[in-house]
């Protein structure tokens, strides 16, 4: 018998993900009960300004981490792509379940695919990574900022304020809104965010019982992909002010392939490198990061910190 208090943001996606994790854990541990502790983060209150200006995506996560550290809750479910590479001291990502669809998805107002959008069409995204890759594929499109919850973003494209928007397929399918998707973007040429489609379940490192249970529930392949992608992000010292993408997957032979991408935050120019190896996932992340740095990724990273 134990009651697990689960901290969750109040957004529909956060609550859906939290409830999914609770159902999974409840099935494994009928002797546990679960209680949701809803948290309103500062990040949820300032959705109209560019997040990178107010402290970045890490904002959502660090306030939840404070709740875990203060022992006001025992566990928290994050979209891994929102989790900065450094966790708060004393906390661990103990549970990483099977990855959902890692791809980005295009939702267009009138059903046109990315290649069919007329020149000058307005595409909504506030992600530097999505903007950089869109610009490279379709320099003739106009990219405009788009923030807010998934449902408000979908409403704005439905109303025609944007010709199209880009969202993570995983978030849409967790909400049951896959039918809104016009086109799945090929992850080989529109590279997903590090951790996209992966959930990370965080708890206190000293909570042995929870750490163990979450460890048994973890999908090892997903955890390997997460490790490769997050090592890439760490070694690039990636902040949300630089367009960075990273996508790991296992091929038929069982080898892990990692594609890394960094773009100039101040204009055209990008670097991409891909490696495959059987060595440990972090080593693969490291190889891809160090190769990108040798080829000049540092210039892009510095351009961001200077302005
Ligand atoms: N940036 C916010 C965010 N964080 C996680 C998801 C979707 C779910 C996921 O990628 O796991 C989203 C929405 C989106 O990018 O479309």
ipTM of the complex: 0.95
Kindly state whether residue 264 falls inside one of the protein's structural domains.
yes
Q: Has residue 104 got a pLDDT over 90?
A: yes
Q: Which pLDDT belongs to residue 239?
A: 62
Angle at 288 between CA 190 and CA 185, to 5 degrees: 10
User: Element (H or E) spanning 199, and its range?
Assistant: strand 199-204
Which pLDDT score is estimated for 270?
94
Phi and psi of 79, rounded to 5°? -75, 120
pTM of the model: 0.93
Which pLDDT value is given to residue 3? 98
117 is a domain residue: yes
Q: Which domain holds residue 133?
A: 104-184
Higher pLDDT, 8 or 267: 8
pLDDT score recorded for residue 180? 98
Contact 135, 114 (CB under 8 A): no
Is ligand 1 within 6 A of the CB of residue 286?
no
Ligand 1 atom nearest to 192, measured from its CA: 10
Q: pLDDT by residue (tens digit) across 57-67?
A: 577 899 999 99
pLDDT in tens, 246-297: 999 998 889 999 999 999 988 889 999 999 996 799 999 999 999 999 999 9
How far is residue 113's CA from residue 140's CA, in Å, rounded to a whole number? 15
Q: In this model, does residue 85 exceed pLDDT 80?
A: yes
Atom number, ligand 1, closest to the C-alpha of residue 168: 16
User: Does 86 share its domain with 206?
Assistant: yes
Report how far ligand 1's centroid is from the alpha carbon of 196 (Å).
Answer: 7
- Do residues 174 and 202 share a domain? no
Instruction: Flag whether 48 is in a domain.
Output: yes
pLDDT-based confidence at 240, cuts 50/70/90? low
Q: Per-residue pLDDT for 102 more than 90?
A: yes
Q: What is the pLDDT of residue 46?
A: 59
Find the angle CA(249)-CA(254)-CA(256) to the nearest 5 degrees: 35
The answer on 115 and 56 residing in a single domain is: no
Say if residue 203 is in the same domain as residue 93. yes
84 in the same domain as 112? no
Q: Are residues 179 and 240 in the same domain?
A: no
Closest residue by Cα to residue 302 from 247, 265, 252? 265
Catalytic residue among 48, 66, 82, 219: 82
**How many domains, the chain?**
3
Sequence-distant (6+) residues with CB within 8 A of 30 are none
Give tens-digit pLDDT for 114-159: 999 999 999 999 999 999 999 999 999 999 999 999 999 999 999 9
| CB-ligand 1 contact for 172 (6 Å cutoff) | no
Question: Rounded distance, CA 288 to CA 293, Å?
Answer: 9
Specify whether 115 is located in the same domain as 91: no
Q: Which of 133-147, 178-192, 233-247 has the lowest mean pLDDT?
A: 233-247
Is there an atom of ligand 1 within 6 Å of 196 CB? yes
Asked if 41 contacts 10 with a C-beta cutoff of 8 angstroms, the reply is no
Nearest atom (ligand 1) to Cα of 100: 11
* Confidence check: pLDDT of 6 > 70: yes
Domain at 120, CATH number = 3.40.190.10
Whether residue 101 has its Cβ less than 6 Å from ligand 1: no
Write the CATH number for 248: 3.30.160.40
Looking at the fold, whether 12 and 87 belong to one and the same domain comes out as yes
Average pLDDT over residues 167-195: 97
pLDDT score of 56 more than 60 = no
Tell me the percentage of the chain whose pLDDT exceeds 70: 93
Tell me: do 159 and 41 sit in the same domain: no
227 lies in a domain? no
Give the SS3 label for residue 35: strand
Contact call for residues 222 and 96 (beta carbons, < 8 A):
yes
pLDDT at 143: 97
In a domain, 248, yes or no: yes
Rounded distance, CA 130 to CA 127, Å?
5
Same-domain status, 40 and 79 = yes
Ligand 1, atom 8, lies closest to the CA of 171
Question: What's the pLDDT score for residue 39?
Answer: 95
Mean pLDDT of the chain: 93
- Rounded distance from Cα 111 to ligand 1 centre (Å): 22
Residue 92 has pLDDT above 80, yes or no: yes
């Amino acid at each position: 018998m134990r009651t697990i208090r689960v901290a969750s943001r109040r957004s529909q996606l956060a609550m859906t993900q939290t409830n999914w994790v609770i159902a999974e854990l409840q099935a494994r541990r009928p002797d546990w009960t679960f209680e949701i502790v809803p948290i309103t983060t500062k990040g949820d209150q300032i959705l109209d300004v560019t997040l990178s200006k107010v402290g970045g995506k890490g904002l959502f996560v660090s306030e939840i981490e404070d709740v875990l550290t203060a022992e006001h809750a025992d566990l928290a479910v994050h979209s891994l792509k929102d989790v900065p590479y450094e966790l708060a001291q004393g906390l661990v990502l103990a549970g990483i379940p099977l990855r959902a669809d890692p791809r980005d998805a295009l939702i267009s107002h009138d059903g046109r695919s990315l290649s069919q959008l007329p020149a000058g069409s307005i595409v909504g995204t506030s992600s530097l990574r999505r903007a950089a890759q869109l610009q490279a594929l379709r320099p003739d499109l106009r990219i405009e900022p788009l923030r807010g919850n998934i449902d408000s973003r979908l409403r704005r494209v439905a109303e025609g304020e944007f010709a199209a928007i880009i969202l993570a397929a995983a978030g849409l399918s967790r909400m049951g809104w896959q039918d809104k998707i016009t086109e799945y973007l090929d992850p080989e040429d529109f590279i997903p965010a590090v951790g996209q489609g992966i959930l990370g379940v965080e708890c206190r490192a000293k909570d042995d019982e929870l750490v163990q249970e979450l460890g048994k529930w973890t999908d090892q392949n997903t955890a390997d992909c997460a490790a490769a992608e997050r090592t890439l992000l760490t070694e690039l010292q990636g902040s949300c002010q630089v367009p960075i993408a990273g996508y790991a997957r296992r091929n038929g032979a069982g080898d892990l392939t990692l594609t890394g991408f960094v773009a100039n935050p101040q204009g055209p120019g990008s670097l991409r490198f891909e490696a495959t190896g059987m060595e440990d996932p972090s080593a693969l992340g490291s190889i891809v990061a160090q190769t990108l740095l040798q080829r000049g990724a540092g210039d892009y990273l510095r351009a961001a910190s200077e302005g």
